[in-house]
Amino acid sequence: MAMRWRFYPRSVVVEISLHPTPFHPLALLAAWEDALIARTDTAPAATACFVGRVRGHDGNGEPLVALELEHYPGMTETQIEQLAQQALQHHQALAVRVAHRVGRAALGEALVLVAVAADRRGPAQRACTELLEALKHHAPFWKKEWRADGSTQWVQGNTPL
Amino acid sequence: MLRVRLFGELRERAGWGEQQVSHAYALTPSQLWQTIAAELGATPDLPARIRVAVNQQFSDANVALCNGDEVAFLPPISGG
Protein backbone atom coordinates (compact mmCIF):
# COMPACT_ATOMS: atom_id res chain seq x y z
CA MET A 1 0.00 0.00 0.00
CA ALA A 2 2.90 2.35 0.66
CA MET A 3 3.66 2.46 -3.05
CA ARG A 4 0.12 3.31 -4.13
CA TRP A 5 1.35 6.72 -5.26
CA ARG A 6 2.80 5.05 -8.32
CA PHE A 7 -0.73 4.73 -9.66
CA TYR A 8 -1.13 8.50 -9.73
CA PRO A 9 0.09 10.30 -12.85
CA ARG A 10 3.06 12.55 -12.13
CA SER A 11 0.97 15.71 -12.51
CA VAL A 12 -1.26 14.58 -9.66
CA VAL A 13 1.49 13.29 -7.36
CA VAL A 14 3.08 16.73 -7.16
CA GLU A 15 1.04 19.76 -8.14
CA ILE A 16 2.69 23.18 -7.88
CA SER A 17 1.42 26.64 -8.69
CA LEU A 18 2.72 30.18 -8.23
CA HIS A 19 0.15 32.96 -7.96
CA PRO A 20 0.78 36.61 -8.91
CA THR A 21 -2.72 37.44 -7.62
CA PRO A 22 -4.55 36.35 -4.44
CA PHE A 23 -5.48 32.67 -4.24
CA HIS A 24 -7.94 30.79 -2.04
CA PRO A 25 -5.98 27.97 -0.39
CA LEU A 26 -9.01 25.93 0.65
CA ALA A 27 -10.47 26.07 -2.87
CA LEU A 28 -7.16 24.77 -4.25
CA LEU A 29 -7.11 22.08 -1.59
CA ALA A 30 -10.64 20.95 -2.51
CA ALA A 31 -9.81 20.81 -6.23
CA TRP A 32 -6.64 18.83 -5.55
CA GLU A 33 -8.45 16.35 -3.32
CA ASP A 34 -11.21 15.97 -5.94
CA ALA A 35 -8.53 15.13 -8.53
CA LEU A 36 -7.05 12.49 -6.21
CA ILE A 37 -10.47 10.97 -5.56
CA ALA A 38 -11.23 10.90 -9.28
CA ARG A 39 -8.12 8.76 -9.81
CA THR A 40 -8.71 6.25 -7.05
CA ASP A 41 -12.45 6.45 -6.26
CA THR A 42 -11.61 7.18 -2.64
CA ALA A 43 -10.15 10.02 -0.62
CA PRO A 44 -6.67 9.59 0.84
CA ALA A 45 -6.85 8.24 4.40
CA ALA A 46 -4.81 11.13 5.77
CA THR A 47 -4.23 14.66 4.58
CA ALA A 48 -2.10 17.23 6.39
CA CYS A 49 -2.04 20.84 5.29
CA PHE A 50 -0.51 24.17 6.23
CA VAL A 51 -1.66 27.63 5.18
CA GLY A 52 0.61 30.61 5.79
CA ARG A 53 -0.65 34.18 5.51
CA VAL A 54 0.84 37.68 5.57
CA ARG A 55 1.12 38.81 9.19
CA GLY A 56 0.52 42.41 10.21
CA HIS A 57 3.86 43.09 11.85
CA ASP A 58 7.54 42.44 11.38
CA GLY A 59 9.87 40.51 13.70
CA ASN A 60 10.17 43.55 15.99
CA GLY A 61 6.42 44.07 16.27
CA GLU A 62 6.40 47.04 13.87
CA PRO A 63 3.18 47.23 11.80
CA LEU A 64 3.31 46.33 8.11
CA VAL A 65 0.97 47.19 5.26
CA ALA A 66 2.08 44.59 2.72
CA LEU A 67 4.60 41.92 1.87
CA GLU A 68 6.27 41.54 -1.51
CA LEU A 69 7.61 38.20 -2.71
CA GLU A 70 10.30 37.99 -5.35
CA HIS A 71 11.19 34.64 -6.89
CA TYR A 72 13.54 33.16 -9.48
CA PRO A 73 11.27 32.08 -12.35
CA GLY A 74 12.16 28.57 -13.44
CA MET A 75 14.48 27.72 -10.55
CA THR A 76 11.80 28.31 -7.92
CA GLU A 77 9.39 25.87 -9.56
CA THR A 78 12.16 23.31 -10.13
CA GLN A 79 13.31 23.52 -6.52
CA ILE A 80 9.79 23.11 -5.16
CA GLU A 81 9.27 20.08 -7.41
CA GLN A 82 12.53 18.49 -6.22
CA LEU A 83 11.81 19.20 -2.55
CA ALA A 84 8.28 17.83 -2.88
CA GLN A 85 9.52 14.65 -4.55
CA GLN A 86 12.08 14.20 -1.76
CA ALA A 87 9.41 14.61 0.93
CA LEU A 88 7.11 12.16 -0.87
CA GLN A 89 9.79 9.52 -1.13
CA HIS A 90 11.27 10.08 2.34
CA HIS A 91 7.90 9.57 4.03
CA GLN A 92 6.29 7.30 1.44
CA ALA A 93 3.45 9.76 1.13
CA LEU A 94 1.00 9.67 -1.80
CA ALA A 95 0.71 13.18 -3.16
CA VAL A 96 1.70 16.79 -2.57
CA ARG A 97 0.09 20.13 -3.35
CA VAL A 98 2.07 23.37 -3.08
CA ALA A 99 0.79 26.84 -3.92
CA HIS A 100 2.83 29.97 -3.30
CA ARG A 101 2.06 33.66 -3.74
CA VAL A 102 4.44 35.93 -5.65
CA GLY A 103 4.34 39.72 -6.00
CA ARG A 104 2.85 42.19 -3.54
CA ALA A 105 0.39 40.67 -1.06
CA ALA A 106 -1.84 42.48 1.43
CA LEU A 107 -2.16 41.62 5.12
CA GLY A 108 -4.03 38.37 5.69
CA GLU A 109 -3.60 37.11 2.13
CA ALA A 110 -2.48 33.52 1.72
CA LEU A 111 1.25 33.19 1.04
CA VAL A 112 1.68 29.44 0.95
CA LEU A 113 -0.32 26.22 0.93
CA VAL A 114 1.40 22.89 1.55
CA ALA A 115 -0.73 19.74 1.60
CA VAL A 116 0.35 16.12 1.77
CA ALA A 117 -1.81 13.03 1.32
CA ALA A 118 -0.73 9.69 2.78
CA ASP A 119 -2.10 6.42 4.12
CA ARG A 120 -1.54 7.45 7.74
CA ARG A 121 -1.41 10.67 9.75
CA GLY A 122 2.25 10.24 10.69
CA PRO A 123 3.68 10.30 7.17
CA ALA A 124 1.23 13.03 6.12
CA GLN A 125 2.12 15.32 9.03
CA ARG A 126 5.85 14.66 8.94
CA ALA A 127 6.09 15.14 5.18
CA CYS A 128 4.06 18.36 5.38
CA THR A 129 6.30 19.81 8.11
CA GLU A 130 9.49 18.70 6.38
CA LEU A 131 8.42 20.10 3.03
CA LEU A 132 7.35 23.44 4.50
CA GLU A 133 10.69 23.88 6.28
CA ALA A 134 12.57 22.84 3.14
CA LEU A 135 10.62 25.39 1.09
CA LYS A 136 11.44 28.14 3.55
CA HIS A 137 15.17 27.49 3.31
CA HIS A 138 15.77 26.11 -0.19
CA ALA A 139 13.11 27.43 -2.56
CA PRO A 140 14.29 30.79 -3.91
CA PHE A 141 11.82 33.36 -2.59
CA TRP A 142 12.67 36.70 -1.03
CA LYS A 143 10.32 38.73 1.14
CA LYS A 144 10.27 42.51 1.28
CA GLU A 145 8.27 44.14 4.07
CA TRP A 146 6.35 47.34 3.35
CA ARG A 147 5.52 49.85 6.08
CA ALA A 148 2.89 52.59 6.16
CA ASP A 149 5.47 55.35 5.60
CA GLY A 150 6.56 53.71 2.34
CA SER A 151 9.82 52.36 3.71
CA THR A 152 10.80 48.77 2.96
CA GLN A 153 13.09 46.09 4.33
CA TRP A 154 14.24 42.76 2.93
CA VAL A 155 13.59 39.90 5.33
CA GLN A 156 16.82 38.17 6.37
CA GLY A 157 16.03 34.48 6.69
CA ASN A 158 12.95 32.94 8.28
CA THR A 159 10.82 33.45 11.35
CA PRO A 160 11.33 30.92 14.19
CA LEU A 161 9.16 27.81 14.25
CA MET B 1 29.14 35.04 -22.56
CA LEU B 2 27.69 34.41 -19.10
CA ARG B 3 24.21 35.45 -18.04
CA VAL B 4 24.55 36.92 -14.55
CA ARG B 5 21.49 37.40 -12.36
CA LEU B 6 20.93 39.08 -9.00
CA PHE B 7 17.84 38.86 -6.80
CA GLY B 8 16.29 40.56 -3.79
CA GLU B 9 18.46 43.00 -1.89
CA LEU B 10 21.45 42.30 -4.16
CA ARG B 11 19.42 43.30 -7.23
CA GLU B 12 18.28 46.50 -5.53
CA ARG B 13 21.74 47.44 -4.30
CA ALA B 14 23.33 46.85 -7.69
CA GLY B 15 20.52 48.54 -9.61
CA TRP B 16 20.34 45.68 -12.11
CA GLY B 17 18.97 42.16 -12.15
CA GLU B 18 20.61 40.70 -15.21
CA GLN B 19 23.75 41.32 -17.24
CA GLN B 20 25.74 39.55 -19.92
CA VAL B 21 29.41 39.17 -19.00
CA SER B 22 32.28 37.83 -21.07
CA HIS B 23 33.21 34.29 -20.09
CA ALA B 24 36.87 35.29 -20.19
CA TYR B 25 36.08 37.83 -17.47
CA ALA B 26 35.34 35.20 -14.80
CA LEU B 27 36.02 31.48 -14.71
CA THR B 28 34.19 30.72 -11.45
CA PRO B 29 31.24 32.31 -9.59
CA SER B 30 33.71 33.41 -6.86
CA GLN B 31 35.72 35.37 -9.42
CA LEU B 32 32.55 36.81 -10.85
CA TRP B 33 31.50 37.91 -7.37
CA GLN B 34 34.70 39.93 -6.96
CA THR B 35 33.65 42.29 -9.74
CA ILE B 36 30.09 42.52 -8.44
CA ALA B 37 31.37 43.11 -4.89
CA ALA B 38 33.53 45.99 -6.13
CA GLU B 39 30.41 47.49 -7.72
CA LEU B 40 28.48 47.06 -4.46
CA GLY B 41 31.31 48.21 -2.23
CA ALA B 42 31.23 44.79 -0.55
CA THR B 43 33.97 42.42 0.53
CA PRO B 44 35.55 40.53 -2.42
CA ASP B 45 35.12 37.22 -0.60
CA LEU B 46 31.70 35.72 -1.27
CA PRO B 47 29.76 35.93 2.05
CA ALA B 48 28.51 32.58 3.36
CA ARG B 49 24.97 33.93 3.41
CA ILE B 50 24.99 34.45 -0.37
CA ARG B 51 24.24 31.24 -2.28
CA VAL B 52 25.19 30.54 -5.87
CA ALA B 53 23.14 28.90 -8.59
CA VAL B 54 24.49 27.82 -11.96
CA ASN B 55 21.92 27.07 -14.63
CA GLN B 56 19.19 27.31 -11.98
CA GLN B 57 20.68 24.68 -9.65
CA PHE B 58 22.48 25.42 -6.38
CA SER B 59 26.20 25.21 -7.00
CA ASP B 60 29.60 25.49 -5.42
CA ALA B 61 31.06 28.97 -5.83
CA ASN B 62 34.31 27.57 -7.20
CA VAL B 63 32.85 25.46 -9.99
CA ALA B 64 34.32 26.09 -13.46
CA LEU B 65 31.88 28.06 -15.57
CA CYS B 66 31.18 27.30 -19.21
CA ASN B 67 30.33 29.73 -21.95
CA GLY B 68 26.55 30.25 -21.96
CA ASP B 69 26.06 29.44 -18.27
CA GLU B 70 23.52 31.35 -16.20
CA VAL B 71 24.99 32.36 -12.83
CA ALA B 72 22.82 33.72 -10.04
CA PHE B 73 23.74 35.16 -6.65
CA LEU B 74 20.99 34.53 -4.12
CA PRO B 75 20.62 36.49 -0.85
CA PRO B 76 19.16 34.68 2.19
CA ILE B 77 16.00 32.83 1.18
CA SER B 78 12.78 33.66 3.03
CA GLY B 79 9.93 31.75 1.43
CA GLY B 80 6.82 30.16 2.86
Per-residue pLDDT tens digits for A19-30: 999 999 999 999
Region of residue B56 (left: phi > 0; alpha: psi -120 to 50; beta: else): left
The pLDDT tens digits of the residues spanning A118-151 come to: 999 999 999 999 999 999 999 999 999 999 999 9
The whole-number pLDDT of residue A9 equals 54
Q: How many CA atoms lie within 13 A of B2 on its CB side?
A: 23
Q: Which residues of B touch A135 (CB under 8 A)?
A: 79-80
DSSP states of A28-67: HHHHHHHHHHHHHSS--SEEEEEEEE--SB-TTS-B-SEE
Region of residue A109 (left: phi > 0; alpha: psi -120 to 50; beta: else): beta
| Short-list A42, A17, A14, A39, CA closest to A27 | A17
ipTM attached to this prediction: 0.94
Q: What is the mean pLDDT of chain B?
A: 93
Neighbouring CB atoms inside 10 A of B10's CB total 21
Using the Cβ of B78 and the Cβ atoms of chain A, whether some distance falls under 8 Å is answered with yes
- Do A154 and B8 count as a contact with CB atoms less than 8 A apart? yes
Q: Is the pLDDT of residue B67 over 90?
A: yes
* Cα B47 from Cα B26, distance rounded (Å): 18
Evaluated on CA atoms A62, A67, A73, A74, the torsion sign reads positive
Using the Cβ of B14 and the Cβ atoms of chain A, whether some distance falls under 8 Å is answered with no
- Do A135 and B74 count as a contact with CB atoms less than 8 A apart? no
- Nearest by CB to A154, from B9, B53, B58: name it: B9
Q: Which residues pair with A117 in a beta bridge?
A: A47, A95
CA B4 to chain centre: 6
The whole-number pLDDT of residue A161 equals 62
Element spanning B2, H or E: strand B2-6
The average pLDDT across B35-59 equals: 93
Q: Is the pLDDT of residue A1 over 50?
A: no
Q: Is the pLDDT of residue A42 over 50?
A: yes
Q: Is the pLDDT of residue B14 over 50?
A: yes
Q: What amino acid occupies position B75?
A: P
* Cα B79 from Cα A76, distance rounded (Å): 10
Phi, psi (5° rounding) for residue A46? -140, 135
- SS3 label, residue B26: coil
* Cα A87 from Cα B32, distance rounded (Å): 34
Asked whether A131 and A77 are in contact (CB, 8 A), the reply is: no
